[in-house]
Structure 1
Amino acid sequence: MDLNKIVNEAMVSIQQDGFVEKIVKDRLQETLKKVVDDMFGSYGDFRKQLESEVKNKLNINLDKLNLGGYNLMVLNEVKLSLDRAMHIQGTEKIKEHLDELLTGAKSEYKLSEIIELFKEEANEDHEYDGEYIFFHCEQSRYSRGGGLAFIYFDKKEREEKYRCDYGLTVDLSDGSVKSVKVDGNDIDNEAIMRGFHGFERTMFQIFASGAKVIVDEDEVETSYGYDD
């Protein structure tokens, strides 16, 4: 038996079948895969170099950042958004209340009538029987007619008229109401959204409906009177 011949023929056959080429290719792929894994793996040199480079590029000095200014900017934007939402919701809320608040409003009131309504509510429990309200009316007349009446009143005596809980400013030329003070404050949108009741509602109706007020100062009765 010619052993060399057999080996040579086997090698030729293997070569023709591509066996050696396949083995070389597979081993080369395995080697390359291992090299890449080593470079990019958890402990690979390339990974370490890449991490180091990225950290250097992203090295932010927090002490130099104006975070206070940034926070203020964010807070201002949030406040602006809330203000917009509150304005939209508040406007809708005011619309809901207005029809109800203006129901029953009259086109004209006398000052003496307003004061009587005020006394009725203030002395509902008769705690002020026999006492007097604080009432002050001063008129500023114009040289060519007209003028303003500044009216201040409260449940009981005040040392200063400007500290009164209630007030009216009336244009004497046409009876229009220029300003109203209720419970120590001017009427604003926040107060409207909360709603008014009793005498405060009457004051709001006078102002919001454009009602006229006749300033019959001499007819105003400042005494609460007595419970019969």
Structure 2
Amino acid sequence: MTQQTLEALLCERVSAYAASDRPRELIDAGIDNMFKAVVDDTFRSYGDFSKAIKEAVKSALPANVSDMFELTRYNAIVAEALRQRWEQAAVQSLILKSADQAISEVLTGEGLITGEVSLKALLEAFVEANKDEARKEGWERPEIRFEEDTRYSSTHLSIFFDPEPESSYRTSGYSSRDQRNDYGLKHRICVRLTGEERPAASQWESATRIGEVYSACLDDKKIDLKMAVRTSWERMLASLYFGNAVLLVDCELDDFSYGLDD
């Protein structure tokens, strides 16, 4: 009798349990846990999805990542490559929007992604960066030289510049020195003029010529990816050499001085 009562009771409770929402809750919880485990496993550092993202980012970056924040061309390449890869991977729009905003904040700024650089602004920044030394040494103006060459199919302009004026260089030391040739100056920019000009703002000014930088040296060393780029004028020069910026030749040799007599 007792056995029949227990059997009947078990049957009743099993039937009641099966008819309740509890099995559905447990099944839902189990499915939740299963999917959570799958997602956690997928996004772990050793998961296939994480590895794929790492490889995509790695292949989008230039060889020397430390220089990307100074050099325009690589900034643009990295930003565009990351955006394309994330779009192709159908990354959720909210994540893509946040990532795009982060890219824009990091890869824009002074001396970075710009379309053109004024030679006058570059040399003014160069003068400003050397004013303290000029004041200490009593220099009136930097040594700046323009050398134009029309022997080839296009016109080439070489800009040589050094913080120390030639007069000071030749009289410094225990004996007078020979005059420095153009390549004896610390810095130079080699420009291929495109032939395009912008009209002058007034009759007393010259038209602005447009050029493309194909060679540049800092401290008589050719710019490369491993070179430290620190000052404003160095960043502008780097964006010309490595980036897509054009040079606006918008100044004359006599436009620049340290202003010590002002």
Q: TM-score, normalised by structure 2?
A: 0.45
Work out the percentage of aligned pairs sharing the same amino acid: 23
Shift of 1:99: 2.8
Structure 2: state its 5+ residue gaps: 1-60, 73-108, 167-179, 195-209
Deviation at 1:100, TM superposition (A): 4.6
SS in 2 for 1:176: strand
Helix, strand or coil at the partner of 2:255: coil
Residue 140 (structure 1) shift: 1.1
State how 1:41-56 maps to structure 2 within 5 Å: none
The corresponding residue for 2:128 is 120
Match of 2:188 in 1: 167
Instruction: Please tell me whether the aligned partners of residues 129 and 225 of structure 1 are also in contact (alpha carbons under 8 angstroms).
Output: no
Q: Deviations over 1:147-186 (max 9, x none)?
A: 1101100001342210111110111115110111112200
Match in the other structure for 2:116 = 108
Alignment check: 8 A CA contact 1:108 1:211 kept: yes
Matches of 1:203 and 1:133, distance apart in 2? 18
Question: Compared with structure 1, are the counterparts of its residues 190 and 132 closer, same or farther at alpha carbon in structure 2 (3 Å cutoff)?
Answer: same
Partner of 1:97: 67
For 1:226, the equivalent position in structure 2 comes to 260
2:235 aligned residue: 201
1:196 maps to amino acid: V
Question: How far apart in 1 are the matches of 2:150 and 2:157?
Answer: 8
Structure 2 residue aligned with 1:140: 149
Q: RMSD across aligned C-alpha pairs, in angstroms? A: 2.8
SS at match of 2:68: helix
> Could you state the TM-score of these two structures normalised by the residue count of structure 1?
0.51
**1:143 Cα deviation after fit:** 7.3
Distance 1:148 1:141 in 2: 6
Q: Relative to structure 1, is the Cα distance of residues 142 and 92 closer, same or farther in structure 2, using a 3 angstrom cutoff?
A: closer
Q: Which residue is 1:157 aligned to? A: 165
- Whose radius of gyration is greater, 1 or 2? 1
- Aligned AA (2:184): R
Contact in 1 for aligned 2:127/2:258 (Cα 8 Å): yes
**Structure richer in helix, relative to its length:** 1
Which whole-Å CA distance do the structure 1 matches of 2:254 and 2:246 have between them?
17
